[in-house]
């Protein structure tokens, strides 16, 4: 549970429907999911199953067609686009499959991009960035551009960027898909340790069942329908 006693995420009967001519495509079908504070949930499903849609709604990138979405105690279901942007900035971290680091910025500067839109500015942001780089084993790589970093190091930078503003929930989209098995295991172990040490909840989208043992539980999704174990 979050500090105020609310789950990190609660989705109740959430649907996402896209109209296509005279028909509708149901991307998410009455999804109900609760994730407790500090809990890591692996979300597993084939391509097109609704994994990204669920995470986009949980993170306030998309609005649901129906249902309720509560993140860190805040019902964001009816938020405007602008209010959702503000909410994401303060409460949600994202690590995308393609990492999405700014190629012409150093590792440290990629973390400090959050400085421009987050709650920290100036010296506090620089201190926070340096602290995260050290904790993530990148203290000697802060001045390096992404192109000079390994795949695992780039993922670590992306994780650090997601943690810059102390989010309540971090959403990982296939964080190991571009890595070999050994590096994938290292990144998942890092995710588990970093989330647990900070008391942050996480959803890890993956198609690799081998990585699910790093999560507290696994939820499967097929054709927009969730199946999985209840919270701890």
116 within some domain:
no
25 within some domain:
yes
119 within some domain:
no
Query: What per-residue confidence (pLDDT) applies to 1?
Result: 44
pLDDT tens, position by position, for the chain (232 residues)?
444 678 999 999 999 999 887 888 899 999 999 999 889 999 998 888 999 999 999 999 999 999 999 999 999 998 999 999 989 988 999 988 777 889 999 999 999 987 555 555 678 888 989 999 998 889 999 999 999 998 889 888 998 999 888 899 999 988 887 778 888 888 888 899 989 999 999 999 988 888 899 999 999 999 999 986 555 5
Close Cβ partners of 46 (under 8 Å, ≥ 6 residues apart)? 207, 222
Query: What per-residue confidence (pLDDT) applies to 165?
Result: 84
Close Cβ partners of 91 (under 8 Å, ≥ 6 residues apart)? 71, 72, 74, 167, 168, 169
Report the predicted TM-score, pTM, of the whole model to 2 decimal places: 0.86
Q: Which is nearest to 219 in space by CA: 68, 40, 30? A: 40
Query: What per-residue confidence (pLDDT) applies to 206?
Result: 87
Can you give the CATH number for the domain in which 161 is found? 3.40.50.300
Query: What per-residue confidence (pLDDT) applies to 133?
Result: 92
170 within some domain:
yes
Tally of domains in the chain: 1
Angstrom distance (rounded) from CA 147 to CA 92: 27
Task: List alpha helices for the chain, DSSP H.
Answer: 51-58, 81-91, 107-112, 122-135, 151-163, 181-198
Angstrom distance (rounded) from CA 29 to CA 50: 9
Residue 15: give the domain boundaries: 9-100+151-228
190 within some domain:
yes
CB-neighbour burial class of residue 12 (10 A; exposed 0-12, middle 13-18, buried 19+): middle
Angstrom distance (rounded) from CA 157 to CA 105: 12
121 within some domain:
no
185 within some domain:
yes
2 within some domain:
no
Query: What per-residue confidence (pLDDT) applies to 119?
Result: 55
């Amino acid at each position: 549970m979050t500090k105020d006693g609310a789950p990190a995420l609660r989705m109740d009967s959430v649907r996402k429907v896209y109209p296509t001519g005279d028909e509708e495509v149901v991307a998410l079908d009455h999804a109900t999911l609760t994730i407790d504070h500090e809990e890591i949930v692996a979300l597993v499903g084939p391509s097109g199953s609704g994994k990204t849609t669920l995470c986009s709604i949980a993170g306030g990138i998309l609005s649901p067609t129906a249902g309720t979405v509560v993140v860190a105690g805040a019902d964001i279901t009816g938020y405007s686009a602008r209010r959702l942007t503000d909410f994401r900035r303060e409460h949600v971290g994202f690590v995308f499959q393609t990492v999405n680091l700014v190629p012409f910025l150093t590792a440290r500067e990629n973390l400090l991009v959050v400085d421009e839109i987050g709650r920290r500015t100036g010296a506090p942001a620089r201190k926070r960035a340096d602290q995260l780089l050290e904790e993530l084993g990148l203290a000697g790589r802060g001045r390096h551009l992404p192109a000079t970093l390994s795949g695992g190091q780039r993922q670590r930078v992306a994780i650090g960027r997601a943690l810059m503003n102390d989010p309540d929930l971090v959403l990982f989209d296939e964080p190991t898909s571009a890595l070999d098995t050994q590096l994938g295991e290292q990144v998942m172990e890092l995710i588990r340790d970093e989330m647990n040490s900070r008391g942050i909840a996480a959803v890890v989208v993956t198609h690799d069942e081998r990585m699910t043992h790093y999560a507290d539980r696994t939820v499967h999704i097929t054709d927009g329908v969730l199946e999985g174990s209840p919270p701890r």
